[in-house]
Every structure is written in structure tokens, then in C-alpha cells.
Amino acid sequence: MTNCLQLKKSNCKNCYKCIRNCPVKSIKFADNQANIVTDECILCGMCFVSCPQNAKHIRNDIAKVKEVIASSRPVYASVAPSFVANYNGISMNSLRKALKKLGFAGAEETAIGAAVVNKQYEKIISERKNNVIISSCCHSVNLLIQKHRPEALPYLAKVMSPMQVSCMILKDQYPECFTVFIGPCIAKKDEAEMYQGITDCVLTFEELDEWMNEENIEFEESSDVDEKGRTRLFPTAGGIIRSMDLDPEFNYITIDGIENCLKAIDDICSGSLSNCFIEMSACSGSCIGGPVMSRKHHNPVKDFVMVNKFSGNYDFSKGLVNFNIKKKFEYVGKGQTLPGSSAITRILHKMGKHSKAQELNCGSCGYNTCRDKAIAVLMGKADLTMCLPYLKEKAESFSDKIINNSPNGIIVMNEKLELLQVNAASLKILNMPNMSSVLGKPVDMFLDPEDYWLVLSNERNIYRKRKYLDRYKKYIEETIIYDRIYHIIMSIMEDITEKETNKILREKKIEQAVTITDRVVEKQMRLVQEIASLLGETTAETKIALTRLKETLVDE
């Protein structure tokens, strides 16, 4: 398998839409990116079409064709008949002229090769060697059988595709030419590389548009009348059968869309069908519903009418040389052993699925059932986080544990200030009886709503505002946050009653200590003053006595 489909990693947003739309679940989700599992991919293009972020893109081969044209080697195009649905009102001659301006030596219709393929289908039916025959024009259907339903390989018609046969005709008519198929299919790029030497390159209609825009080339009006072959019906559902000469003893069935093809293959392998030719197309509506048909003007009914009008009632006569167009189909899948039931059960338990009732099979992860998802996890293609119900329950459980175990009171209100959620701490702070009795009630039944209306009207949050709730005899520190996106108001309250009470007690004790200290200081000051006074009197008396003693001694 080649890298025909590639991933733009930066664009993937983990929506799992590609997995949901992939019929064979060939998507591996790793490192937050959806990656294509090439060993399982059937290149139906459903991931490319469904991706809302354009994270998948098709390999561009314009440069390869330009290089060959520059080398002077003649390049011829085989154009799929679905071009009339992609380019409204454009004839094959108009398209041929545009391609020649790009440097192509010429162009023919793939429908010519389809006429050869039809004759081979009719021959196989007439030989009666195969009881059930599956058409092999659609490479995605071929890959589906080769990779995922090898038991149906014996029923697959061993015939080349119209693309291959038309390119063989071109190589026969123009030896040494380089052949390019242009059509609405991604898988044809892989088919060209799988069976080399026939179709040298494949361009999609989108690549042709890009190239023409780059060269400022537009389609010209043409009055030429194209030969109308009935195999131009091939790109429509039932078109192969409509363009065949039918055997009245054989049954002819048209199946389009991979899901329907899978069911039909199951019926074939179970032996439910016999004596039938089954035209299978991977795309709904067949090739005109291809992944690279222009999205700008794609309309299934109008496109069918355009192709039907373009076709005729007779076969193409030119180029129908006698080629050996047999094709060998082998199993190319990568055999994998499915995990056992115990391993699957273990993964289901990790996803929170402990019973059948918990297996919602919602498909949000992209897989049809929870068991399919568990198998994908075990095979390394998915991880547990892809289960949205699991993540939702886990997130809710985690947030509930945080909220309910928070020491702070948490109250959530709507914009009408009605209580949506309260936690256990809130019930305790506000002396509420229980949660069920308060939910839906207006907040003014329990708290002064002034600050909440203020936050709501001004759209400015309040942080760590201290309040005294006289009704509850409690002090709180409250933060009020308004979420404009989810239209909720959240109050986070810290009960600081004990802290405030202790603070008041400390302040009283400090005040008492200051008062006592002041009294002691005052008393000490008085004592000092009394002592000083006494010392002053004693000193004066002593001085007088000593003076008198001195005078007495002097007189003597």
C-alpha cells in the first residue's frame, strides 16, 4: 500500500469522525492524531471526505506528469466517463483540447477499455464456470476482499479494470507513451502502483482543476459530437450491467456503498446467492459519488442524468484489440489474531463498562460497539480516552470529589440566582438541611443577593471579600465568579468564623494586657516618684546635719 492518502498532523482535532466513517476501521489513533493504517486501508476516501478539519489530503502527482512532459516523452490520458458529471456541459473534445494545452499528446475515454472489460464479463458468465461473479472494476472493492474478506476471492472476476485496459490500448497504439488516468478515485493511484507498467500515473479531477488554474487554462466550447458508447454508463450504479448483453438465465445485482458490499459478501460466502453477477462499487452511487468529484456542484441525481445523457446504446468500435486482460487477485492483508474475551473484558472494565447495560455502543469514539473499541485498544489502534461517556463520567466523578471534599463552601447559581449545585461545606456553613431541599431555590432565601447581582450586572468578579452573616453568626471570606460562557455564577466561601473569633479574642487579650501594663507602669512611676521624694528629703536633712557638724568642728 502506498501513501496515496496522507495526514496533516496539525489539523487533527480528535473528533474521531474519520474512524466513524471508515467502513473497515483502518484508522489508528495515537499521540492525539488519527493515522491511516495502510495495511488495512481500502482507499475508499471516506476519511478524506468526512474530515471537518481537512486533516487528510491526497498525494499530488502533477509534478510527476509535468516532469515526463518536459522530457518530450509523449503523454496520453485515459479520462474516466464521470468527467461529464464533474464538468458540466464539457465534451470529450473540449477536455482533449485543454489537456493538449497542458502538454498532453492526446486523450481517450476510459469507456473504450470498459467495452473490452464488458465483453470479458459476458464471456465468463456464458462459460458457467463461476456460480457467483463479483465485478472487479472498483479497486476499493478489490482491496476490501483482498485485505478483509479473502474468502470471497474465488468470486472476484479475474479481469483488469477499464483504467488498465484503456491504458493498454494507448500503449499499443502509441508505443513508448506515458499513460495517465484522470478520474474521481483515490484508489486508482494505488492500483496503478500495484500493477506497474500499465497505468503510469493517476491524477484526480481535483488535481486537473489545480493544474488548469495554475496555467490559466479554461475549457473551450466544442460543436464536435462525441461517439456515444454505452460503457460510458460505468460510473453510475448499475451502469456496468446496463451496458452488458444480459444472459436471461443469470441474475444481475447492483450493490453500492461499502457497508452494503460487506453484507453482500457475507451472503455470497454463506452460499445464499447463486447464478448471479454482482456489480459492486465502494462509493454510494458508484464513481459519480467518488471522493474527489467536485464538491462545489456535486448532485447525485443531476450527475446521473448527465452521464446517462452522455452514453449511447452501442459499443465503442475503436481500440477493441484482442488483449489478455486477465488479472490475478491474491490476499494482501495482514493477518491478525483477535484478542480473547478475558482481555476484552479487562479493557471494558477499565472503560467503566462492568456490565452489558453499561456498554452504551454510542459510537462517539468512532467504533460501532464498546467491544469493537476494546479490541481496537488491545490492537494498539485506540486508547481509553476516546470513550466520551467514560471521560464524562470520570470528569464528573473527579469534579464531584473535588467539590464535595473541598473545605470551602461552593455554590453554583444560574443567571436568575437559583441554586444549581451546593456542596457539603456550603450546607454546613449556611445550616441547610440537605442538598435536594435547596436546589432550584433562589439564593436570597439563604444569602443577601446584592453582591451576586452586582457581579452579574457589572461582569466584574469579587475576590476574597470578608462578610459577617448575622443570620448564621458566621464570618466568611467570599469569592464570586461569573462565567459568561456557561451563564453561571459561582460562590466560593471560606468559613473564617473560628479565625475571626480567635482574632477578636486575641485583640481583647492584647487590650487587657495593654491596660494592665499601663496600670503597672503608672503605679511604678508613682512609686519611683515617692521614693525619689523620700530620698530628696533625707539628702537635705543629711546635708544640714553634716554642715552643722562641720561648723562645730571648725569653731573648736
CA–CA distances in Å: residue 266 to residues 22, 328, 429, 534 = 19, 22, 66, 125
Whole-number Å distance between alpha carbons of 357 and 364: 17
Q: Which of 215, 219, 190 is nearest to 202 (CA)?
A: 190
Which residues are CB-contacts of 146 (< 8 A; sequence separation ≥ 6)? 153, 329, 330, 331, 332, 333
Strand pairing report for 419-422 and 5-7: unpaired
Separation between Cα atoms, residue 498 and residue 479, nearest integer Å: 19
3-class secondary structure per residue, 169-180: HHHHHCCCCEEE
Nearest to 113 by CA among 319, 271, 310: 319
Report CA-CA distances (Å) from 172 to 75, 198, 435.
13, 11, 85
Mean pLDDT, rounded, of the chain: 88
User: What is the per-residue pLDDT across 230-274, written as a single tens digit (0 to 9) for each?
Assistant: 999 999 999 999 999 999 999 999 999 999 999 999 999 999 999
How confident is the model at residue 311, as a pLDDT?
86
Choice among 67-76, 316-325, 413-422, 434-443 with the minimum mean pLDDT: 316-325
- Sorted by sequence, the CB contacts under 8 Å of residue 392 that are 6+ apart come out as none
Confidence of residue 397 (pLDDT cuts 50, 70, 90): low
User: Is the overall model pTM greater than 0.85, yes or no?
Assistant: no
CATH topology of domain 1-57: Alpha-Beta Plaits (3.30.70)
Q: Give the residue, 204 or 515, on which the prediction is more confident.
A: 204
The answer on pLDDT for 410 being more than 90 is yes
| Cα separation, 156 vs 124, whole angstroms | 11
To the question of domain 60-310 being in CATH 3.40.50, the answer is yes
Strand 409-414 to strand 488-495: parallel, antiparallel, or no bridges (unpaired)? antiparallel
CATH topology for 406-495?
Beta-Lactamase (3.30.450)
The architecture that CATH gives domain 336-385 is: Orthogonal Bundle (1.10)
Q: What is the Cα–Cα distance from 182 to 297, expressed in whole angstroms?
A: 19
pLDDT digits (tens, 9 = 90+) for 276-327: 999 999 999 999 999 888 655 568 888 888 888 888 877 776 546 677 899 9
